[in-house]
Copies of this chain bind each other. A is one copy, B any other.
Amino acid sequence: MKIISSKDNLLDGINIVQKAVSSKNNVSLLDGILLEAGDIFKMTGNDLEIGIECIVESDIRKKGSVVINSKMLGEIIRRMPESEVMIEMLENYDVIIECENSHFKIKGNPADDYPSLPKIEAEQSFKISQKIAKEMIRQTIFAVGVDENRKILMGSLIESMENEINFVSIDGFRMAMRKRKEDIQNTNFKVVVPGKTLSEISKILQPVDNEIEIFSTKNQILFKINNCMVMSRLLEGEYLNYRSIIPDEYETKVKVNKKEILSSIERASLISDDEKRYPVKFEVIDDTIIISSKTEIGDVRDEITVETEGKNIEIGFNPKYFIEALKAIEDEEIYIFFNSDIGPCTIRPLDSDEFAYMILPVRIKN
Contact = CB atoms under 8 A, between A and B. Distances in A.
Interface of A: 72, 75-76, 79-81, 94, 101-107, 263-264, 266-267, 270-271, 297-304
Contacts of A76: 267, 270
Given A102-B301, A106-B297, 19 more contacts: A72-B271, A76-B267, A76-B270, A79-B263, A79-B270, A101-B303, A102-B264, A102-B267, A103-B300, A103-B301, A104-B267, A104-B271, A104-B298, A104-B299, A104-B300, A105-B298, A105-B299, A106-B271, A107-B298
Contacts of A297: 72, 106-107
A334 to B, nearest CB: 19
17 contacts: A72-B270, A72-B271, A72-B297, A79-B270, A80-B267, A94-B298, A102-B264, A103-B299, A104-B267, A104-B271, A104-B299, A104-B300, A105-B298, A105-B300, A106-B297, A106-B299, A107-B297
A105 B270 CA distance: 12
A75 to B, nearest CB: 5
A83 to B, nearest CB: 12
Contacts of A102: 264, 267, 300-302
The 9 closest A-B pairs by CB, nearest first: A106-B298, A101-B303, A105-B299, A103-B301, A79-B267, A102-B302, A104-B300, A75-B270, A105-B298
